[in-house]
A and B are shown apart, each in its own frame.
Chain A
Amino acid sequence: MSDLLSLSLTGARDALKAKKTSSAELTDAYIGAMEAGKSLNAFITETPDKARAMAKASDEKLAKGDGGAMEGLPIGIKDLFCTQGVLTTAASHILDGFKPEYESTVSQNLWNAGAVMLGKLNLDEFAMGSSNETSHYGAVENPWRRSGGDNAKLVPGGSSGGSAAAVSGRLAIAATGTDTGGSIRQPASLCGIVGIKPTYGRCSRWGVVAFASSLDQAGPLTRTVSDAALMLGAMAGHDPKDSTSADLAVPDFEAALTGDVRGMKIGIPKEYRVDGMPDEIDALWQKGAAMLKDAGAEIVDISLPHTKYALPTYYIIAPAEASSNLARYDGVRYGLRVDGDSLNEMYENTRAEGFGDEVKRRILIGTYVLSAGYYDAYYLKAQKVRALIQKDFNDAYQSVDAILTPTAPSAAFAIGENEDDPIKMYLNDVFTVPASLAGLPGISVPVGLSGEGLPLGLQVLGKAFDEETVLKVGGVLEQAAGFDALPGFLAGGK
């Protein structure tokens, strides 16, 4: 079984095509893995029956030599994607019992490509968090543990923590995620896997529970860069149901993985060398730059002067949009209702009980920054700084093809460690948020281990709709790093 579970997405695809295994066999292995990995709390809802039925249908297609790009491959879906007839929670109490009457465009694209659904993955409530600790369904455990003595349970990062833990611990061959300020890339880094956030507009947001509409973007979490290329290709595409979706053809992302970065210019932004950055992160970054240089790329020092202001900008814009996006959870049409004597009381009771503390914090901040008298000072100001941040990138991309940075300022931390200080938690996204604000694509690739034996990733950022370069550079890093360390927990064993 461990052989099957050790296959990458592209590896399994090739094995299925070559009839070395069947989707039923592969899917059964993963259903067993989900069972074995229950302690990670990666899934909110498991759908083994559905998985078996889908696998059977895939095997029929594969037998005839038919099937889509993801035919028969069992994946997990972040529980922010609405799935028809399957409980969809956004990890919030307020969506209790909610079974959508519709399927999100991205998950539908995956099913159309033949993918098999294992279940719905845990996340931070409404994707608000960087540690997966804000979930109503409990924290997710990172399959990795620190080496040497300390056996503390670690966070997988967030918000796509269930997705990252599942892929890392081999409870799913790959998983969908969403990234608003780093929610794919940061957990990928903390779990030692690959995660790509494509350009804003590349994947449809239709049917994805909204957090911050101008930032939310779906993407895959996978074991390898070519897996990411395969799965992103299946997820992406223009959707007339999403007005912000880009009307562009989806390139053959796998074909972009030429391994050739010779002559390419890679920017190293000096502002990312933030105060208090651990030496090992800095060292990893330099190592990554050296790898790309060795592969024939030119390393260029660049400046993104407004980097420092990205996080505060993000923590105005994202909560503002969220405060409005989450107004629909009012106990009237779906989910939790806590009764009250009047309509207003019902609203207030429902939302007080239905939302967790972090979500409430963000709703209140968002409500405040949009309120009369404060809009200009906060929201409008943040939109202006956002323009400057986008301009920084536009300027930089005049002279470089891609940008290399660390993904996160630290390796995985212990569950409960950063809980008390919201700002400390927010700082996890310091390297991922700027590209989110500019809508640009970014990938996190595992490149090394921390002193405590935990995975660390580097981030490659690209120009808008140039995921091909991002994947290509990520692939070269992956190749050069040869990251093959495995987490402490691995379904099916090592």
Chain B
Amino acid sequence: MSLDKATVAKIAHLARIKTDDAQLDAMVADLNTILGFVEQLSEVNTDNVEPLASVTGHGLPLRADVVTDGAYPERVLANAPDRAHGYYAVPKVVE
């Protein structure tokens, strides 16, 4: 599989990274090199192999349903680039 410029542009948009034309060309080359490299996995026979998502081998630990956190809006908002009236502020969204 080889990526073309349009596909890379689509991926860049999915990832919300603005990419100009020259950058796209460079990315196409880099990404194809990397994809070419990982392509060798197709040689491996993985029939009947269960995918491994985590090496831990144990199940999900559960926590008790108790309120232990929150109630500190100042800490939550402390690093916000823009805030107003206790909210995060972002450019207006039209639904």
Number of interface residues of B (CB under 8 A): 53
Interface size class of A (residues with CB under 8 A): 35 or more
Which residue from chain A places its CB closest to the CB of B62 in the assembled complex?
A243
Complex-state Cα separation, A355 to B19, whole angstroms: 12
The 8 A CB mask of A347-377 against B (1 = contact, 0 = none) is 1110110010000110111011001001001
Given A240-B61, A364-B27, A340 contacting B91 (CB threshold 8 A): yes
The 8 A CB mask of B19-30 against A (1 = contact, 0 = none) is 100000001001
**Which residues of A419-477 have CB atoms within 8 Å of chain B's CB atoms?**
421-423, 426, 437-439, 464
Asked whether any CB of chain B lies closer than 8 Å to the CB of A222, the reply is no
Which residue from chain A places its CB closest to the CB of B52 in the assembled complex?
A387
Given A339-B91, A387-B49, A367 contacting B79 (CB threshold 8 A): no
Asked whether any CB of chain A lies closer than 8 Å to the CB of B6, the reply is no
Complex-state Cα separation, A311 to B50, whole angstroms: 20
- Whether A214 and B54, one on each chain, are in contact in the complex, defined by CB atoms closer than 8 angstroms, is yes
Q: CB within 8 A of B30: which of A309, A343, A361?
A: A361
Complex-state Cα separation, A247 to B57, whole angstroms: 12
- Whether A378 and B38, one on each chain, are in contact in the complex, defined by CB atoms closer than 8 angstroms, is yes
Which residue from chain B places its CB closest to the CB of A381 in the assembled complex?
B41
Complex-state Cα separation, A246 to B19, whole angstroms: 41
A228 to B: closest C-beta gap in Å: 22
30 inter-chain pairs at a CB distance below 8 angstroms, sorted by A residue, are A98-B79, A101-B75, A200-B55, A313-B41, A315-B38, A327-B15, A332-B80, A332-B88, A334-B79, A335-B79, A335-B81, A342-B91, A342-B92, A343-B90, A343-B92, A345-B18, A348-B13, A348-B16, A348-B17, A364-B17, A364-B27, A367-B11, A380-B51, A381-B44, A384-B49, A384-B51, A388-B46, A423-B34, A437-B55, A464-B55
Beyond known contacts A313-B41, A365-B35, A464-B55: 9 more, CB 8 A cutoff: A214-B54, A240-B63, A246-B56, A315-B34, A315-B37, A368-B7, A378-B38, A381-B44, A382-B41
